[in-house]
Structure 1
Amino acid sequence: MALHFVLDEPAVAGPGDAVVLTGSEAHHAASVRRVRVGEEVTVGDGRGAWLTGRCESVAPREVVVRIETRMDSPAPRPRVVLVQALAKGDRDELAIQAATELGVDVIVPWQAARSVSRWDAAKAEKGRARWATIVREAAKQAHRAWIPEVAPLVTTAELVARAGESRVLVLEPSGPDRLTEVDLRGEERDVLLVVGPEGGIAPEERERLSAAGAATVRLGESVLRTSTAGPAALVLVSAALGRW
């Protein structure tokens, strides 16, 4: 499989045009992946454009790719959204990395009541930027045409407000129904998978979400870590939506 690289701007190039990689992407291509003149690569913009071409010149500061073919992938509908509670250590980061590789469309960091990690106003933007970097690299590794959006940090109140316009599935080991029993055929709304922190989702949070129309579901008989639950649920939802 050809090596894949990502542009920082929307791709406007087509067959016969040249695309120039600069900055860290050029350095990665030339010095880390050691691409060679004449080698076939793919280039995307994370917004659906998928370009295939051959390297015309290679240097650490600039790699020129002559485009041979272009495809444009439509944005997935409905979108699958992972609402990932902040977690201690790197468990939330492991979750979003795996979810990106598995096809999530949007990632929403959630300041849950039991989250050990806390993002204040200053830390929230830095945390979001770090998550966006992780997501970009994971999408690049997975050769995805669309890079998932990382939304701003939400509170429980803000999450509850979204329940009326989306299909919200709260992952809870004691949920009355299995996720595999949820019928998603023909679903047109965003599907939100809500994952709590290490200590689980607080009862009052589950009650507020349920009152707003969210369904509480379980994955199976075992209790998964916060880093595992979201990616596992994403696989099942992708299959139910016909993506897999």
Structure 2
Amino acid sequence: MTAPVFVLTAQTTSPAGAAAAARAGDVFSLLGPEARHAVSVRRLRVGERVDLVDGVGLRLVCEVLESGGRDRKDQLAVKVLERVQERPAPLRLALVQALAKGDRDAQAVETATEVGVDLVLPWQSERCVSVWKGPKAAKGQERWQATAQEASKQARRARVPVVEGLRGTPELCTWVAQVVSAGGVVLVLHEEASAPISGATLPAPVSQAAAGVAEGTEAAESTAVLGATAGLAPVLAVVVGPEGGISAAETAALEEAGAVTVRLGPHVMRTASAGPVALAVLAQRAGLWEPQEQG
């Protein structure tokens, strides 16, 4: 069985920032909610293996030295066994998910994360029943980001997808044009499309080494740049509409921006499942599920 994964930051380690330069043999402690979950919920014991990740590719393979104790339920002491820097994939998967009623949109984010999505964009489509206005937009983004982090841990990923801010159709079309101009591909799922997703043209991948160099630049720290930037691995995005579907006007606007309309298959899927299924098809076609290089 694979080791459980917990996410660390500079603020949740003792000494502070210890993980950034950690090497085999180093000892430090994980603090805060993640440590509390490891100690009180997962009940990790001394000698067990645990993987600590930073969400952007660093994985520290560790052994538990001390798990909690009296008045220390939020502290997990570990020893680093191996430091692994996972290089970014040659393509970046993105999901543009229209808001949906209930938790179906969050369910799509969760499953897409398990499939391997790198970037998620909430979309306030014309026919969305759910509406994010004012403070609700920020709260919705935070909720989706938390969902992505938990799903990443479940999937044992070293990278946590970035959830960007809410976009309306005009802003989404601008993003689509940027992605396409940078060599990416945006596919709009539509039940009336004639072209199958299995035949869609995929972006030309970059080498993992080149993607890793670009990812390390200061510009890559911006989520806006993560959306579409030449030099980084190109984006392969899927656009999923709400329960009522994507309107003809929205479809036309997206196509004008450079998106391609495709059909997922012979059956009509719910908004919660269409995106993850499409991403799985594309990930397999692009070879993203094959073993990746590590630094």
Q: TM class by shorter-chain length?
A: over 0.9
1:53 aligns with 2:62: yes
User: Which aligned pairs between 1:82-93 and structure 2 lie closer than 5 A?
Assistant: 82-93=95-106
**In structure 1, C-alpha distance between the alignment counterparts of 2:287 and 2:8, rounded to whole Å:** 29
In the TM superposition, residue 164 of structure 1 has moved relative to its aligned partner by 2.1
In the TM superposition, residue 158 of structure 1 has moved relative to its aligned partner by 0.8
User: Which aligned pairs between 1:190-209 and structure 2 lie closer than 5 A?
Assistant: 190-209=235-254
Cα pair 1:165 1:189 within 8 Å, conserved? no
User: Which aligned pairs between 1:1-16 and structure 2 lie closer than 5 A?
Assistant: 1-9=2-10, 11-12=19-20, 13-16=22-25
User: Which aligned pairs between 1:66-81 and structure 2 lie closer than 5 A?
Assistant: 66-81=79-94
Compare the two structures and name the one with the higher strand fraction: 1
**In structure 2, C-alpha distance between the alignment counterparts of 1:168 and 1:4, rounded to whole Å:** 31
AA aligned to 1:49 is L
Residue 180 of structure 1 aligns to a residue whose secondary structure is helix
**In structure 2, C-alpha distance between the alignment counterparts of 1:19 and 1:84, rounded to whole Å:** 39
**In structure 2, C-alpha distance between the alignment counterparts of 1:110 and 1:228, rounded to whole Å:** 16
1:26 aligns with 2:35: yes
Residue 201 of structure 1 aligns to a residue whose secondary structure is coil
**CA deviation string 1:166-206 (max 9, x = no partner):** 21100001112000011216255311100000000111000
Aligned to 1:221: 266
Cα pair 2:92 2:118 within 8 Å, conserved? yes
TM-score, with length taken from structure 1: 0.96
In the TM superposition, residue 6 of structure 1 has moved relative to its aligned partner by 1.2
**In structure 1, C-alpha distance between the alignment counterparts of 2:122 and 2:176, rounded to whole Å:** 16
**In structure 1, C-alpha distance between the alignment counterparts of 2:260 and 2:26, rounded to whole Å:** 50
Q: How many residues align?
A: 244
1:173 aligns with 2:191: yes
In the TM superposition, residue 40 of structure 1 has moved relative to its aligned partner by 1.4
AA aligned to 1:47 is V
Cα pair 1:21 1:63 within 8 Å, conserved? yes
Identity %, equivalent residues: 44
The match for 1:104 among 111, 117, 132 is 117
Residue 197 of structure 1 aligns to a residue whose secondary structure is coil
| Larger deviation, residues 10-19 vs 230-239 | 10-19
Runs of 4+ in structure 1 over 4 Å off: none
**CA deviation string 1:206-229 (max 9, x = no partner):** 011111221000111111000010
Structure 1 portions without partners, runs of 5+: none
Compare the two structures and name the one with the higher helix fraction: 2
TM-score, with length taken from structure 2: 0.80
Cα pair 2:120 2:162 within 8 Å, conserved? yes
Cα pair 1:21 1:64 within 8 Å, conserved? yes
In the TM superposition, residue 130 of structure 1 has moved relative to its aligned partner by 0.6
Aligned to 1:123: 136
**In structure 2, C-alpha distance between the alignment counterparts of 1:45 and 1:163, rounded to whole Å:** 29
AA aligned to 2:246 is I
**In structure 2, C-alpha distance between the alignment counterparts of 1:77 and 1:105, rounded to whole Å:** 12
- Alpha-carbon RMSD across the aligned residues, in angstroms, is 1.3
AA aligned to 2:176 is A
